[in-house]
Amino acid sequence: MKQYYGMSRSGNLAEAIQGLHSPQFIMLLSNDIQFEEHVAALEKAFPGVPSIGCIGMCYLTDVVEHGVGVIAYSDGVTAAANVLENVSTMPVKYIKRLEQDIQAVGGSSRDTVCIDFCAGNDACVLTTIHTVLQRRGISLVGGTGDQSKVSANGRVYPDAVAYGVVRNQTGRVKTYKENIYHQLGNYRFIASDTDRANYILGALNGKPAKQVYKDILHVTDEEILTRTFQNPFGKINGDDTCIISIKDVQGNALACFRQVNDSDVLILLELGDYQAITRNTIKQICQDFPRRSAIFSINCLFRYKLFSEHNYMQTYLRDMAALGCHAGFVGYGEHYNNRFVNQSMTCVVFE
């Protein structure tokens, strides 16, 4: 299979797709002003080709912040794309679509991946999708787009998740999740007084969450919002840690970028040696896949900001580009199987 990446910083879709021929699956990363226009134009250019899209920044070796980007697969791919609608309330209503698409693509855990762009209520969406994917052992990577709308097969949907089931006919696929944080101290909290709908974390070990965070890190209310780059929360799930960013302070509670539930076990994280960790991921991918056809990644917006602040983003993208055909987009949250995480990188590698 082959991966195509085209972009236009001015938002000219024609420029972005000028080298694209006979695609079998297309991903569109557009801007909030031109999204509908781009979706329609793309469908017109490649009618009937499975496609998904969202509003977000794309990258190859540079991040395109307000233009348009197209990532497409060809020569050895079977794909199907569709949406689950009403994600804020009942995405399960449309679950049969996913079951049928998986049936149609006919892949297995070895060669098939599900890529999704979500418009919101990510945790619920991932739970719902996972009920189907887990039966076949198919992995999922994806991210959250902006403006609560996505596209699939030439049509824009509000309050939906667009997914593409992609089967590599020329080899294996494997997904990765990269965490550049590690546990701070030996703090371990049980979350309570949470508001799932509004992603509110009320208390940690029975004490107001804001005060706990401030007491440990010695920061003011204002500093909490920027401190999340250095010290986000981590939700423990068995041996895995899912990063949770802090969005805002609400009274004595903390509003997060992902839902927190009563009985969630949380830890405090601190930024690790991110350069060593990213190099290690690249090394691991090289070990797992000596020959790589395509790599599609989703980097968190906060990671992008953090790396940019540290003048590391360019280096990071260049290092990733050294793997071969690497492209991706900057998400507002990252998806890895049934886990919705923040401040992470998830990716899928096609052999």
Partner 1 sequence: MLFGKKRREPAQVREEKSLYPVLHVAGSLQEYQKELVKKEVASLWELNMVGRAFAGVVKEADQFQTKLQDLGLSFANINQTAEQFNQVRGAVAQTVTEAQSQMEELGQTSMQVQQSFNEMSETFSQLQAAVREIQQCMGKIVSIADQTNILAINASIEAARAGEAGKSFAVVAAQVKELAREIKELAGEVDTGINDVESSSSQLSSRILTSQETLGQNTDILAQADESFHRITEAAEGAVSVQTEIAGVIQVSQQELQTLRQFFDRIKDQYQEVVVHIDTASRMGTTKSAMFEDMENMIAQIPPLVKDLERDI
> Which residues contact partner 1 by CB under 8 A?
86, 89-93, 123-124, 127-128, 130-131, 188, 190, 192, 196, 205-206, 236-239, 259, 261-265, 338
Distances (CA, A) of 61 to 89, 243, 323: 38, 25, 12
We find the least distance from the C-beta atom of residue 128 to partner 1, in angstroms, to be 7
Q: Which is nearer to partner 1, 108 or 205 (CB)?
A: 205
We find the least distance from the C-beta atom of residue 5 to partner 1, in angstroms, to be 34
Q: Which is nearer to partner 1, 3 or 128 (CB)?
A: 128
Q: Which is nearer to partner 1, 131 or 284 (CB)?
A: 131
Q: Which is nearer to partner 1, 14 or 190 (CB)?
A: 190
Contact 108, 174 (CB under 8 A): no
Cα 122 → chain centroid: 10
210 SS3 class: helix
We find the least distance from the C-beta atom of residue 123 to partner 1, in angstroms, to be 6
Q: Which is nearer to partner 1, 41 or 242 (CB)?
A: 242
Contact 141, 346 (CB under 8 A): yes
Q: Which residue's structure tokens are 């005060």?
A: 211
283 SS3 class: helix
We find the least distance from the C-beta atom of residue 92 to partner 1, in angstroms, to be 5
Neighbours of 242 (CB within 10 A): 22
Amino acid at site 255: A
231 SS3 class: coil
What sections of 172-258 are H helices per DSSP?
209-217, 221-227
We find the least distance from the C-beta atom of residue 283 to partner 1, in angstroms, to be 28
